Chains A and B, each alone.
Chain A
């Protein structure tokens, strides 16, 4: 490797549920079997990629009242798949898209910290939001957030998750945790000291993220 040349970072996205994916090719295999995820992840690791990246689908999309033709029925949930991939890869980063409009910060901080722990420091979170009432019908007691509020919630969601992960000092001392804000009021001792190693990231608005969209928060 010659020094001085700017190095390229490579990652791979599992083929999505949009028109990029070719279904008609005879080589096109299952979109939901673990073997498909495993093959792509192992190939990415063989290619020394930084990470493998999964999108999120929270509700099957509909077209004229029927399930959209390009959607995948039975697609397994992303963090669960990444936990399984952690066992069959050794170095590859494992990135999950997870929505901050739905979910709760303590619960999600815990699931991501668990992935980071099981994979020994390979977890990443692609933070997205959704203002889609159709998707919201599956969550929040049927409610959803308008465009401005979803970023307010996402920002506090993110801050709360970070506070939870940082409530352990690097020396291994666990400090009491309490968060009180307009969106969340949580008092807990976090059992997880992980995700100090994990990566938080975000998608740019307009990036095809199906049903969810996002904007880069100010770097923290």
Chain B
């Protein structure tokens, strides 16, 4: 199992082919390894409705306060004096900053800052709008039918074997997906209508026993 990042179908297919192509060297079949990107989704009654909800979810995820937090994570500086609805700071990030502890470090803060500034200038975006644009894209947005078709397309074209859904609400965030999208996937014949077995291996279509003799 590989838990990976969701990306474009092209990048997904490239990663999928690369990793699956290595398995034969280890005596394994392509189906022995499943590649499942983490994805987010927003559903609506229509595609337009879903797009509207998605924009609202992004505004909720990136509150004015969170926008400054995200900015400070890149810049490594105290930017609490900046207006979330105003322009980005002129000063450069501090690459040796210890402002943020315990989070994965931004690999190239100067590069990210340059990209964010360019985006902000090109589209006339505020700090908060820039953070929303740069960090909060949902993977699948649309009506249940649109989302079901997109998921099927991704898997059918070998960009993934499936998906790890990351809902944005606790505890009800999966309800609409299970009630509205799963039945459509089942109708399309691409998702089970009952569990075939009781173990995780059986769900993933893997052999039950992987005992390796003589390892110790």
Contact = CB atoms under 8 A, between A and B. Distances in A.
Interface in A28-51: 28-31, 35-40, 43-44, 46-48, 50-51
Which of B198, B203, B205 is packed against the most chain A CB atoms within 10 Å? B203
Which of B38, B188, B190 is packed against the most chain A CB atoms within 10 Å? B38
Interface in B35-72: 36, 38, 40, 57, 60-63, 65-66, 69-70, 72
Given A20-B40, A207-B5, A69 B204 contact: no
8 contacts: A9-B203, A11-B165, A19-B62, A20-B40, A48-B193, A68-B103, A134-B101, A199-B201
A8 B163 contact: yes
Contact of A21 (B78, B170, B215): B170
A9 B171 contact: no
Contacts of B175: 43
A1 to B, nearest CB: 6
A204 B6 CA distance: 11
Given A13-B166, A162-B212, A61 B199 contact: no
A166 B19 contact: no
Contact of A43 (B100, B168, B174, B195): B174
B182 A197 contact: no
Nearest to B167: A15
B155 A63 contact: no
A8 B190 contact: yes
B145 interface: no
Interface string A149-177: 00000000000001100110110000111
Interface stretch (B21-29, B88-96, B117-125): B21-29
A197 B38 contact: no
A118 interface: no
A68 B194 CA distance: 42
A202 interface: yes
A148 interface: no
A1 B170 contact: no
A5 interface: yes
A70 B60 CA distance: 13
Contacts, number: 260
Given A7-B190, A61-B103, A218-B26, 6 more contacts: A7-B191, A15-B173, A28-B169, A50-B162, A59-B102, A68-B100
B8 interface: no
Would you list the 4 A-B pairs with minimal beta carbon distance, nearest first?
A9-B162, A201-B1, A93-B200, A121-B199
Interface residues of A, number: 93
Contacts of B165: 10-13
B81 interface: no
Given A69-B65, A69-B69, A120-B199, A7 B170 contact: no
Given A48-B191, A134-B101, A202 B2 contact: yes
Contact of A47 (B60, B135, B162, B177): B177
A19 B66 contact: yes
Given A64-B78, A166-B211, A199 B162 contact: no
A130 to B, nearest CB: 10
A87 interface: no
B173 A162 contact: no
B216 A175 contact: yes
